[in-house]
Amino acid sequence: MHTKTVLITGASRGIGAALARRFAAAGYNLVLNCAHSKDTLEALAADLKNTCAVNCICCLGDIGDFSFVKEMIQTASDTFGGIDILINNAGIASIGLLTDMDIEDWNRILSTNLTSVFSTCRCAVPCMVHNKQGKIINISSVWGIVGASCEVAYSACKGGVNAFTRALAKELAPSNIQVNAIACGVIDTDMNACFSPEERRELEDEIPAGRYGTPEEVAELAFSLAAGHSYLTGQVITLDGGWI
């Protein structure tokens, strides 16, 4: 029986690490990427190899660099025979006024959050089309739906990811490849650790569910999309406790 392979970008911590643990628990081969946290990523991979007895390779590099992405997916193909599930999770945030943002910051955020999704899909899709099956799951944000003040670049990128998801799903549906996105609300990760206890309580009060989401909840939804739902494609699924 073919052991499926999942590629997870931004896998060293938070949602990415939770995704890696969930798929490892199900016995998937893992291709884990991050840009900077080499020791953290390798420690996670070693733990998953030990506890779940899975095959795992780490690919450290800038997901916004097309040449790196091409090399990473080639390495995955050489090692495991291809990518069955692609999860685009890598992302960076930037909070501040548009008038304080320079073009270098804009390009950096766009490269990491949106161009990376093009690059991974561009390199992984041909093998999926050949095999007549595959799953692409893009980790997005509610800010890509409604926008956030002082997060123009991040919101624009996630809006782009949502539109990219819907368009690519139509293109790939005849090849039995499903493309969906998870638009996350406030998830309890390092990215949202900037809030003071008082700010956190105020934000939790705004969320009908009364709490932040967990990385494990995102991972469980992503795993469900990856493991089945062959007729579900082109959807941006909001996971936000009823917030937006």
Reading the block at residue 139, the tokens are 């980790």
**Residue count (the chain):** 244
Residue 57 pLDDT exceeds 90: yes
**pLDDT-derived band of residue 150, with 50, 70 and 90 as boundaries?**
very high
Instruction: Tell me if the pTM is above 0.75.
Output: yes
Residue 121 pLDDT exceeds 80: yes
DSSP string, 97-155: -GGG--HHHHHHHHIIIIIHHHHHHHHHHHHHHHHT-EEEEEEEETHHHH--TT-HHHH
In a domain, 191, yes or no: no
The mean per-residue pLDDT over the stretch 236-241 comes to 98
Helices (H), the chain: 14-25, 38-52, 66-80, 103-110, 116-131, 143-146, 152-172, 197-206, 215-227
Domain count, the chain: 1
Report the distance separating Cα 95 and Cα 78, nearest Å: 40
Give the domain extent around 223: 5-186+215-239
Q: State residue 134 phi and psi, 5-degree precision.
A: 165, 160
Reading the block at residue 26, the tokens are 């199900």
Q: Mind listing the pLDDT tens digit for each residue in 21-53?
A: 999 999 999 999 999 899 999 999 999 999 999
In a domain, 194, yes or no: no
In a domain, 197, yes or no: no
Looking at residue 36, which CATH number applies to its domain? Answer: 3.40.50.720
52 exposed, middle or buried (CB, 10 Å; 0-12, 13-18, 19+)?
A: middle
In a domain, 192, yes or no: no
State the pLDDT at residue 163.
Answer: 98
Distances (CA, A) of 148 to 101, 118, 206: 15, 23, 15
Residue 190 pLDDT exceeds 80: no
The mean per-residue pLDDT over the stretch 144-168 comes to 97
In a domain, 106, yes or no: yes
- The residues that are catalytic are 154
Reading the block at residue 27, the tokens are 């016995």
Reference 239, options 128, 142, 100; nearest CA is 142
